[in-house]
Amino acid sequence: MTATDPDALADRVQDGDLRIHELEDHADPDTAAEARRTFVERETDTELDATADYAFAAEQAESTVENMIGAAQIPMGVVGPVSVSGGAADGEHYLPLATTEGALLASVNRGLSVIRDADGADARVTKNGMTRAPVFRVDGVAEAAETIEWVDDNVDALREAAESTTSHGELLAVDTYVVGDSVYLRFAYDTKDAMGMNMVTIATGEACELVEAETPASLVALSGNLCSDKKPAAINAVEGRGRSVTADVVIPGELVEERLHTTAEAIAEANTRKNLTGSAKAGSLGFNAHAANVVAAAFLATGQDEAQVVEAANAITTMEAREATASPRSDERRSREREHEDGTTDLYAAVSLASLEVGTVGGGTKLPTQAEALDVLGLRGGGDPAGSNADALAEIIAVGALAGELSLLAALSSRHLASAHEDLGR
């Protein structure tokens, strides 16, 4: 066996001659992964044949994982078409979703079918800003005030320092907060088509050096948790992080009755009592039925940072019964409205995701399967103009989440949830 033979390398790890993370220093990435897998098989008395069966070069995963032994395969399906009129997305798109939750895609597809028959949903990114919030130490409130005054007067200088580290990111704002002898600066950036966490961390680090040089403040941590990344946080619900996006649709009353087997009033009541009142009683930061389900499945399929589903689930679902009104959407819609002048009410449905952190370049979007999923959406790589692909992805995911909310609330209000799972056998 040669020095780069996987078994020989595994022997060296077992003998303590090599550490498990040092294998790439002695072999190519695929050989290192095989050696590491062999070591784990020996240590745990397992067989990792399925884990070893991956369809990309290990080198492609070097920026996304350490100590690679293979790949986890998650079933991926597709829903749609997603019919959306957005600020960036337009027309019909098929949305790949990766999940192990049975009945999820069937439910989302039902909601999307109803949305299409209602002439599609509108969606807009209403705010954009990826944040990083360092925390500084000062001696007291006087130094805190001095630091904040300098920051407020020198945003342009901070912008120049931050943007010197990136050819794409733009510093949008710096918000200041004081807690005793701690000063927090919440930097917000337009990261274009990248989700941008690495970009804004590096840029903020450069800006922090300027703050330390010009004020009494000393940097304690580049992230002071006021960002707030991968944690439930009210600041993200209020101020947003990444993309703030809303999708909405008006569904004619007869469609609600014929396709969802309930009424606009029943769905609206279920939403109020479950998603609003129930969530408030529980102290929840998410006022929705299961928006995280669609977001997580879309994140896994398209190579997003799956931990940021925490923020994306920070969403509010709105449902309202409305009297039918004239609509400019289509002659077919106006015809349907005339048909139910007997008092049937329409359903207004919306979902607002305050902090949907997505990108179409960088990170896991470069992996082959995830890149193909973005190809299915027509959103792989950078958009023209820059940022438009990530905006479109956010809008499509929002419509998918809206379809999931609509379908689940209809199932609950018609008491069909359990029977649907039984019918699908899962």
Catalytic center residues: 101, 305, 421
Closest CA to 315 of 268, 265, 359, 275: 275
Q: Quick check: 177 and 183 in contact, CB under 8 A?
A: yes
Element at 186 (helix H, strand E): strand 182-190
Query: C-alpha angle 410/415/420, rounded to 5°?
Result: 80
What are the residues facing 361 on neighbouring strands? 194
Element at 238 (helix H, strand E): helix 234-239
d(CA 198, CA 209): 17
Closest CA to 361 of 164, 168, 127: 168
d(CA 390, CA 130): 13
Half-sphere exposure of 370 (CA within 13 A, CB side): 26
User: What's the one-letter identity of residue 338?
Assistant: R
Length of the chain: 426
Q: Quick check: 185 and 134 in contact, CB under 8 A?
A: yes
d(CA 395, CA 125): 7
Helices 253-260 and 331-339: crossing angle in degrees, nearest 10, is: 80
Q: Quick check: 263 and 319 in contact, CB under 8 A?
A: no
Closest CA to 67 of 57, 76, 58, 75: 58
Please state the φ and ψ torsions of residue 27, each to the nearest 5 degrees. Answer: -160, 165
